[in-house]
Structure formats: structure tokens, C-alpha cells
């Protein structure tokens, strides 16, 4: 018997084997990723100010971006025809009407000096705070007419009125006054007394027997 298996020609392994597909060349890193990586390394090394700066095209800094995002200022004071800046401030039940003009630093409150009207340093410092923050202390004269409330409420109302008048006098001072909190109206009020209570929340003494 003839061995059929031996008679068959041997097939070459080279022809049957299929060449493996060539691996693609590694892609170059994306420009944005390389920029962020470089910015991160710069911050870690202390050479870069922030990653945000590297994402912008030009020379803008984080402070400039913050100024651009800041909402436009609302000027609540006004200037009359004589060049005197006026502002109104309120705190609790106190209302203060303030006028500011260039001068030598005199402060008049209801016809009295600041030291004579407010006896405590806390209230006097509150009135002078917006003037000192904007470097206007001793350079302008302040005239105030205030009524209602107590000394603390009147001092807060005068502070807000002075800040608004300074903002109207020089709008470039808005950032300084706003960051210091002098243009924010303090809306806290005394809670009203309730029926059946001794005060707003305090009850009368309870006796079971």
C-alpha cells in the first residue's frame, strides 16, 4: 500500500504564516496637554504664577481676569451742581444723610464734632473706616445729618453714607470700598416682640402649681 500521506507535497510554513500587522507609530502629544503639563511643572518649580495664566493666550494675569469678571458698579450716591458728593446710609432704624467735599478733614454730625457726638472708640472708628481705607482721611470735609436709632445704628448708617458718597466722588474707589465691605447694606434688624412672650423669643416664667 502506498502511503498517501507521504505522497502529498509538504506545504511550506512560510506561505501559510500571515505577517503580523505593523504597530502604529506613537502619536505626538496634543499641544493643549503639553501646555497644561508645562504650566503645572512651572507652578511646582515656582516659576509660574498659576495654571490659569497659561490657558490664556496673552499676558493677562489672574488679577486682570478678576477685574474683567467683576460686575459693573452701581453708584448709589450722587454729586450736586456745586461738586459736593452726597450719599444716604441706613442701619436698623437710623438714617444718615452725608455730604463730602474737599477740605481739611473736619467731620460734623448734627452740628457737633465726631469726638463730641460719639463717646466710644468703636463708633468713631466705624465712621472713619471708609475714609482711612481710601486714603481720604484728613483730605475731605464730612457733613452728616442723622436721626433715629441708637449710637451703634447711627454709626453704621454714617459709615455706609460716607462710602456711597466717596464712590460717587471717585468711582475708581469702588473696588477698595467693596472689598472692605463698606458698600454693603447691613439688613439685620431687631426681631419684633411676639404676643404672649416677654420679648421676641423669651417667655414668661412658667409655674406648674
User: Which tens digit of pLDDT belongs to each residue from 27-46?
Assistant: 554 444 444 444 445 444 44
User: Which tens digit of pLDDT belongs to each residue from 60-108?
Assistant: 455 555 555 666 789 999 999 999 999 999 999 999 999 999 999 999 9
d(CA 13, CA 127) in angstroms, rounded, equals 99
| Cα→Cα distances 142→78, 86, 160, Å | 15, 10, 13
Same-domain check for residues 167 and 105? yes
d(CA 78, CA 86) in angstroms, rounded, equals 5
User: Which tens digit of pLDDT belongs to each residue from 146-180?
Assistant: 999 999 999 999 999 999 999 999 999 999 999 99
Q: What is the DSSP letter of 166?
A: H
15 occurs within a structural domain: no
Q: Is residue 138 left, alpha or beta, with left meaning phi > 0 and alpha meaning psi from -120 to 50? A: left
Same-domain check for residues 175 and 86? yes
SS3 98: strand
State which residues form the domain around 91. 78-179
Burial of 183 (0-12, 13-18, 19+ CB in 10 A): buried
d(CA 53, CA 49) in angstroms, rounded, equals 7
Model pLDDT, residue 64: 58
Q: Do 100 and 108 contact (CB within 8 A), yes or no?
A: no
**What percentage of residues in the chain have a pLDDT greater than 90?**
64
Same-domain check for residues 62 and 136? no
Cell of 154: 447711627
205 occurs within a structural domain: no
Mean pLDDT confidence for 102-126: 96
Same-domain check for residues 83 and 164? yes
Same-domain check for residues 84 and 48? no
Same-domain check for residues 85 and 65? no
Question: What CATH code is carried by the domain that includes residue 93?
Answer: 3.30.230.10
41 occurs within a structural domain: yes
Model pLDDT, residue 49: 45
Model pLDDT, residue 73: 82
Same-domain check for residues 97 and 169? yes
137 occurs within a structural domain: yes
Among the candidates 69, 99, 120, a domain finishes at 69
Same-domain check for residues 61 and 116? no
111 occurs within a structural domain: yes
Same-domain check for residues 117 and 148? yes
Q: Do 106 and 141 contact (CB within 8 A), yes or no?
A: yes
Same-domain check for residues 96 and 60? no
197 occurs within a structural domain: no
SS3 50: coil
Provide the domain count of the chain. 2
Model pLDDT, residue 45: 45
Same-domain check for residues 115 and 167? yes
SS3 51: helix
166 occurs within a structural domain: yes
β-bridge mates for residue 18, sequence order: none
pTM of the model: 0.67
Q: pLDDT category, 15, cuts 50, 70, 90?
A: very low
pLDDT, greater one: 21 or 205: 205
156 occurs within a structural domain: yes
Same-domain check for residues 91 and 175? yes
Amino acid at each position: 500500500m502506498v502511503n498517501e500521506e507521504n505522497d502529498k507535497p509538504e506545504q511550506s510554513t512560510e506561505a501559510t504564516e500571515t505577517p503580523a500587522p505593523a504597530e502604529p507609530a506613537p502619536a505626538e502629544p496634543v499641544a493643549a496637554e503639553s501646555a497644561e503639563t508645562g504650566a503645572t511643572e512651572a507652578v511646582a518649580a515656582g516659576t509660574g504664577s498659576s495654571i490659569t495664566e497659561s490657558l490664556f493666550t496673552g499676558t493677562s494675569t489672574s488679577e486682570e481676569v478678576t477685574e474683567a469678571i467683576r460686575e459693573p458698579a452701581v453708584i448709589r450716591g450722587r454729586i450736586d451742581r456745586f461738586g459736593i458728593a452726597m450719599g444716604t446710609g441706613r442701619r436698623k432704624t437710623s438714617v444718615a444723610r452725608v455730604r463730602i467735599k474737599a477740605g481739611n478733614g473736619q467731620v460734623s454730625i448734627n452740628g457737633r464734632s465726631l469726638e463730641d457726638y460719639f463717646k466710644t472708640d468703636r463708633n468713631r472708628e466705624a465712621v472713619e473706616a471708609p475714609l482711612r481705607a481710601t486714603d481720604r482721611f484728613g483730605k475731605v470735609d464730612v457733613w452728616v445729618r442723622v436721626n433715629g436709632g441708637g449710637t451703634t445704628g447711627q454709626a453704621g448708617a454714617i459709615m455706609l453714607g460716607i462710602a456711597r458718597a466717596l464712590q460717587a466722588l471717585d468711582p475708581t474707589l469702588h473696588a477698595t470700598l467693596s472689598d472692605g465691605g463698606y458698600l454693603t447694606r447691613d439688613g439685620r434688624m431687631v426681631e419684633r416682640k411676639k404676643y404672649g412672650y416677654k420679648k421676641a423669643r423669651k417667655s414668661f416664667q412658667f409655674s406648674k402649681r
